[in-house]
Amino acid sequence: MPELDKADVGVLKSAVFDAIDFFQNTLSVLRLTGPLVLKRTGCRSSWQNGTNAGKCSYLIQGYRFEKCLDEFSIPNEHLEGLIQWPFEGNKPTNIRFEAGKGIPDSDFVLYVSASTTPRCLKPKDYTKLNHPVIGYASFCQLGLYDRPIAGQINFCPLELNYFKFDQKRLYMTTVHEIIHTLGFTRELFEKFQDCSKSNPGENCIKRDPPLYRSIEGIIRLLTPKVIEKMQEHFSCNDPNFGAPLQVLHSQVQSHWDNSLLHGTIMTPTLGLTNLTAIDPITLAVFEDSGWYKVSYQRAQKYKWGRGEGCQFGIKKISDSEFDTNFCKEGVKGCHYLHTSKADCETTEFDHGIFTAKPGYECDKEMNSLAVIDTNMKEVYGIDSRCFMSNLTRSFENISLTNSLVMNKLEGRCYRHRCIGPEMLQIKVADSEWIDCPEKSHISVPGYLGIVICPTNHEILCETDMLAQESASTVSINTNDNKHITPEIVTEKQSFIKMSMILQIEAKHKDDFNINNIMMNFVLERIRKLLTEKRMDFTILGSETDMQNDEIKIMLKLSENKDNNLGMNFTLILDNFGHNYTISLSEKIYSFYVSNITVMDSENQEGSDNDRSTYHTDISSSFGKRVDSLCFVIFFIISFFN
């Protein structure tokens, strides 16, 4: 049984084509004059002089193929020949491989695969989050001026199975990974070119190192266009106000810092897709590489910290109830765009950010099914937004009322409407519409407690317009005419065009047993789940029934201060679904597992290349199709006038 069925293939192709459409209308590059031919690494040494100087003198014994990312075998037709030459003479001594024809009218080739590899299931735990990998990507060959000319993305089918229900998330994941392959990677920063006195990719010189360094304890990428876009966005005139890079264990990563550039496409964690932007700061990296020109009109609106100045995210967190950007761990509040409830999660700078998750969205009516306390009178729907509140329905019973009035402020979903640019109104359940002035709080007749009014109505009301713009498309574009030609195109440059070659081949994975890996995968999930529930437990055993798509895990719960369950029970994952059901005596305990964040594998031991995986918050999923058929796609990026 293949890892991907026809429906999966269709979903993947659709997401990748949407991502391709974005890049082929955003970037331009200096064209190659002939077909793209990739290099081989099968030559051990070359002649230093003689009539065959520069040609291969000795071949590597046992060399049989060329790989991209150590996993994808590059077709021979894409590769140069491999020929051994004598010191003198025009007749080769050994023709190991004839030269391939190359890829015509192309300047970059992207190999896209969907295969369950050991890396998909055993990421190294650098962020203390033991979660599965969704995908990973890297460049694998460089060309003229060190521009990437080949790269690979591999999607992990066990997680890809979930994305068929959320194609927007798959699209954003694909965009993120393609950005890595085109040059947004730590390993290539030092190869960026200065083309300020020439066309991109033509007669450029390497930028003076270092391109990133510590500024007041923050590692910033200090390239000209990135600094310009940072200054514009945050309203900061500091000449060293570069974009902050993520740092883990004292190592600079190939992502933006999640707290200082929260919600951009290149942070390590992908939030909800409607809260993530392909931002101008990220696109500026392409221009500063010297390899591309950028159509910035293709960037999406980005609001995090807009106009907040040079110290945004650095100064000590305020305890103000009006602060919607930063928070203290454990607080339940609202995402800064107010579209969703959010949990406060800590960052590298020891302060928290309100992070939205699936099921928290206020504008999705179906999320109201999870509401338990109806006294709060929350309302979920297309015009609902999140507000800090401790409202509780008042009762004639005085003692009951007094017990409810002490509720803490937390994120609640209520209806809203914008009356012009400066007035916001809120409606709670059956109440009337109530004015909600900036930086104030209001009370609602018939309720105890208050609702905190946002500090910036503009952000909330702009979010309404963005939601309308993006509601009808997966590939979110800010241009009505996506094929408009801006000033970046010259006679020698053109937009990227990506064509696709599809190949399916069978591969038997003898290096690991898929059933055992699946079991280990599930055990880690359950171990984390029960730990979060503060349950002491011992795993007694497990078994897999592949015919019935069922996994059984036998556990024993021990007594602790939170439970007195000194007995055994069996956990069954039926159809490898999202819901974990625990049968214990006559009681049924169901848990819905979410917040699955994949690892950044670029620091894995033995990794030579900068291989980035994408971090995302999604629901747990288990694919049924776990056999060994390898689905392989070639995406060829070419250029046209």
Give the span between the Cα atoms of 530 and 521, in whole angstroms: 15
Helix runs in 56-166, H state only: 118-121, 157-163
Give mean pLDDT, residues 508-513. 34
Name the average pLDDT for the chain: 73
Q: Are 38 and 109 in contact (CB under 8 A)?
A: yes
**Choice between 474 and 449, residue whose per-residue pLDDT is larger:** 449
The three-state secondary structure class of 46 is strand
Question: Using CA atoms, how far apart are residues 541 and 547, in angstroms rounded to an integer?
Answer: 19
Bridging pattern class, strands 392-393 and 212-215? unpaired
Q: β-strands 384-389, 410-419: how paired?
A: antiparallel
Rounded Cα–Cα distance for residues 550 and 539 (Å):
17
161: alpha, beta or left? (left if phi > 0; alpha if psi -120 to 50): alpha
pLDDT at 451 over 90: yes
Alpha-carbon distances of 49 from 44, 46, 81, 203, 520, rounded to whole Å = 16, 9, 21, 28, 56
Phi, psi dihedral angles at 400 (to 5 degrees): -65, -40
pLDDT tens digits along 163-200: 665 788 889 999 999 999 999 999 999 999 988 777 66
pLDDT at position 488 is: 43
Rounded Cα distance between 76 and 297, Å, is 39
Confidence label for 631 from pLDDT (cuts 50, 70 and 90) = very low
Residue 342 resides in a domain:
no
Does residue 317 have a pLDDT over 60?
no
The answer to whether residue 372 is domain-embedded is: no
- Written as one letter, the residue type at 360 is Y
What pLDDT score was predicted for residue 565? 41
Is 35 a residue whose pLDDT tops 70? yes
pLDDT at 370: 67
Distance CA 157, CA 39 (A): 30
Tell me if 386 is assigned to some domain: no
Mark 553-566 as b/e (b = at least 16 C-beta within 10 Å): bebebeeeeeeebe
pLDDT band at 219 (very low <50, low <70, confident <90, very high): very high
- 578 annotated as a binding-site residue: no
The answer to whether residues 449 and 389 touch, using CB atoms and an 8 Å cutoff, is yes
Burial class of residue 17, CB neighbours in 10 A (0-12, 13-18, 19+): middle
- Name 481's Cβ contacts closer than 8 Å, sequence gap at least 6: none
Q: Is residue 285 part of a domain?
A: no
Q: Token digits for 555?
A: 């556990």
- CA 139 to chain CA centroid, Å, is 17
Residue 102: inside a domain: yes
Residue pLDDT, tens place only, 330-388: 788 999 999 999 988 876 555 688 888 888 899 888 888 766 666 678 899 999 999 99
Which stretch, 2-6, 132-136, 220-224, 554-558, has highest mean pLDDT? 220-224
Per-residue pLDDT, averaged over 277-301, amounts to 94
Angle, nearest 10°, between helix axes 280-288 and 224-234?
160
Where are the alpha helices (H) located in 415-456, listed in sequence order?
none
Q: Per the domain annotation, does 15 fall within a domain?
A: yes
Q: Identify the H or E element spanning 404.
A: helix 398-404
Residue 149 near residue 109 (C-beta atoms within 8 A): yes
Q: Where is pLDDT greater, at 11 or 454?
A: 454
Tell me if residue 505 is catalytic. no
Q: What is the pLDDT of residue 599?
A: 25
Is 180 assigned to a binding site? Answer: yes
Residue among 28, 294, 11, 17 at smallest CA distance from 178: 17
Looking at residue 367, its pLDDT comes to: 84
pLDDT confidence tier of residue 568, bands split at 50, 70 and 90: very low
Length of the chain, please? 641
Per-residue HEC secondary structure of 125-157 comes to CCCCCCCCCCEEEEEEEECHHHCEEEEEEEECH
pLDDT above 50 for 480? no
CA distance linking residue 601 with residue 435, whole number of Å: 49
Give the model's confidence band at 114: pLDDT under 50 very low, under 70 low, under 90 confident, else very high: confident
What is the span of the domain harbouring residue 122?
Answer: 6-178+498-503+613-639
DSSP state of 473: -
In 476-549, beta strands by DSSP E = 493-506, 536-545
Stronger pLDDT, 316 or 19, i.e. the higher one: 19
The catalytic position among 3, 177, 287, 361 is: 177
pLDDT value of residue 53: 94
pLDDT of 621 strictly over 60: no
The confidence band for 433, taking pLDDT boundaries of 50, 70 and 90, is: very high
What pTM value is reported for the model?
0.73
404-418 tens-digit pLDDT: 445 788 999 999 999
Region of poorest pLDDT, from 108-117, 430-439, 460-469: 460-469
Task: Identify the CATH number of the domain in which residue 57 sits.
Answer: 3.10.170
Beta-sheet strands, E only, within 430-510: 434-435, 441-442, 447-448, 451-452, 493-506
As a three-state string, the secondary structure of 544-575 is EECCCCEEEEEEEEECECCECCCEEEEEEEEC
The strand pair at 251-256 and 269-270 is best described as unpaired
- 454 vs 229 pLDDT, higher one: 229
The Cβ-side half-sphere exposure at 282, using a 13 Å CA radius, reads 31
Start-to-end CA span in the chain (Å) = 43
Half-sphere exposure of 22 (CA within 13 A, CB side): 26
Number of domains observed in the structure of the chain: 1
pLDDT surpassing 90 at residue 420: no
Is residue 38 situated within a structural domain?
yes
Q: Which two tokens stand for residue 377?
A: 């009178």
59 inside domain: yes
